[in-house]
Structure 1
Amino acid sequence: MTKTILITGASSGLGAGMAREFARLGYNLAICARRLERLDQLKQQLESEFSVKVTTQVLDVTDYDQVFAVFKAFQQQCGTIDRIIVNAGIGEGRRIGKGHFEINRATAETNFISALAQCEAAVEIFRAQNHGHLVMISSMSAMRGLPKHLSTYAASKAAVAHLAEGIRADLLNTPIKVSTIFPGYIRTELNEGAKKLPFEIDEKTGARLLVKAIEKEPVKAYVPQWPWQPLGLAMKILPLSIVNKLG
């Protein structure tokens, strides 16, 4: 039986890119985001190019009641959901103490509280099914506290990594798997205006490597593995003055 993958934040960027790669592998998809028009365009593209079924739903992940409603609706429509990828998030942020609390609060809430809601809804489904694969998209920025506009973003991504590990600890020795993915610098629509960053890769390459990593159902994965796996270890012990230069 063909498996179904639910991806949040799938109307653009890495969410849409992963949807394409998973469709290429023959998975059915349940994709959701705020922009239904984009989702439906992607649905048409994928169903015409690949022999898969794509189901769409509008979802604003900051509407927590809607998160539970949409995930349950997908389960009813698809029958079984085999993998849920908590991908939706934002990259906004400002320097702390500069009068931008509302922007930083929105980043923290969207990237962490919304992820918590998605995990609650996902694991509820997986517990009922007694199987499933929860995938948390974190970031290499989760390795350390970072300065300037990255402070809140990095903290939110560290929080989701710890959340995923806690869920994994709770589900040890069950058929439910939990993976935490740490992408490095991937150029997408979300950050297209940012300065060029060290070791950055393009969106298409990033999506392909993310899917390749997720398919292995790892406990954790760094994407791309080189140079981010050794850099991740280094970031945890290097002086902040050196870590700052990675941002």
Structure 2
Amino acid sequence: MMRTNILITGASSGLGKGMAMEFAKKGHNLALCARRVERLEELKQQLLNINPQITVIIKSLDVNDHDAVFNVFNAFKQELGTLDRIIVNAGMGKGASIGRGYMHANMQTAQTNFIAAIAQCEAAVEIFRQQKSGHLVTMSSISALRGFRRAMTVYAATKAALSSLTEGIRIDLLKTNIKVSCIHPGFIRSEINEKVEKVPFIVDTEAGCKALVKAIDKEKPTSYVPTWPWALLHFLIRIAPVSILSKMS
């Protein structure tokens, strides 16, 4: 199925921006939102240079403003007529070991990665129920599979919660024409990890986003991206001893 009109949150940088560029190449109209509207303006021009035939609409949105999430999503729908796919991508990776005095950063990550994701899913599925069709995509992480230390502790917990939330939504919508997918990216270079030097199996942003878009278009319930090596490694991560996990973060 051709999902003509795609909404992406957190689209001003990183994986959101990269996915927008890949979808533009494939001829999709794009509804893009993020806090940094000046970056969205630049991205809009890039996308139209890639494909002048598509429609690109941009709006400022802080996903932690939950009322604004509903307002912006509905405004996009009114302008485009339908929203065929909504990608819940906005997130952050702030954080530190628990008990080190960085509760504010950990709470910001929890609020943005999970609580705000609930608002986005609520707004998206409300629109899809009205349309009687649509594709909800959440961007989780390979870190959702286990607990991790230091800056990853709260981040991994939020992604585990997001994966669980997505599965629950999918179960709730099984007998409808609404598809639900949870994507678990492995290590893809982006702004969220640009300062991390040694990361196993990391791929660049373009290669990673091509793999993400390919997985999203398949509309499977759960995907691990890029397929190599994460389609295999996710099984090993689930059973790995804690001593191994301690070396992964």
Matched, 1:70 2:72: yes
Letter in 2 for 1:222: Y
Give how far 1:121 is off.
0.2
Matched, 1:178 2:148: no
Decide whether aligned partners of structure 1 residues 25 and 169 sit closer, same or farther in structure 2, where only a CA change above 3 A counts.
same
Give how far 1:2 is off.
7.4
Letter in 2 for 1:200: I
Aligned residue runs from structure 1 range 6-155, under 5 A: 6-50=7-51, 51-155=53-157
Aligned partner of 2:222 in structure 1 is: 220
Please list every run of at least 4 consecutive aligned residues from structure 1 whose deviation after the TM superposition is greater than 4 angstroms: none
Number of residues paired by the alignment?
247
Identical amino acids, percent of aligned pairs = 58
Aligned partner of 2:202 in structure 1 is: 200
3-state secondary structure, aligned to 2:137 = strand
Give how far 1:230 is off.
1.6
RMSD across aligned positions (CA): 1.1
Decide whether aligned partners of structure 1 residues 53 and 146 sit closer, same or farther in structure 2, where only a CA change above 3 A counts.
same
Q: How many Å separate the matches in 1 of 2:102 and 2:43?
A: 35
Give how far 1:49 is off.
2.4
Q: How many Å separate the matches in 2 of 1:63 and 1:46?
A: 27
Letter in 2 for 1:85: I
The answer on whether the counterparts of 2:35 and 2:60 sit within 8 Å (CA) in structure 1 is: yes
CA-to-partner distance for each residue in 1:131-153, whole Å, 9 max, x for gaps?
A: 00000000000000111111000
CA-to-partner distance for each residue in 1:150-169, whole Å, 9 max, x for gaps?
A: 10000000000000000000
The answer on whether the counterparts of 2:96 and 2:152 sit within 8 Å (CA) in structure 1 is: yes
Give how far 1:195 is off.
2.2
Give how far 1:48 is off.
2.8
CA-to-partner distance for each residue in 1:199-229, whole Å, 9 max, x for gaps?
A: 0011111111100110000111000111112
The answer on whether the counterparts of 1:94 and 1:103 sit within 8 Å (CA) in structure 2 is: yes
CA-to-partner distance for each residue in 1:97-153, whole Å, 9 max, x for gaps?
A: 111111101000100000000000000000000000000000000000111111000
Structure 2 residue runs of 5 or longer lacking an equivalent are none
Q: How many Å separate the matches in 1 of 2:244 and 2:50?
A: 46
Q: How many Å separate the matches in 2 of 1:38 and 1:56?
A: 10
The answer on whether the counterparts of 1:62 and 1:110 sit within 8 Å (CA) in structure 2 is: yes
Q: How many Å separate the matches in 2 of 1:47 and 1:187?
A: 24
Aligned partner of 2:169 in structure 1 is: 167
Matched, 1:230 2:225: no
Scaled by the length of structure 1, the TM-score of the pair is: 0.98
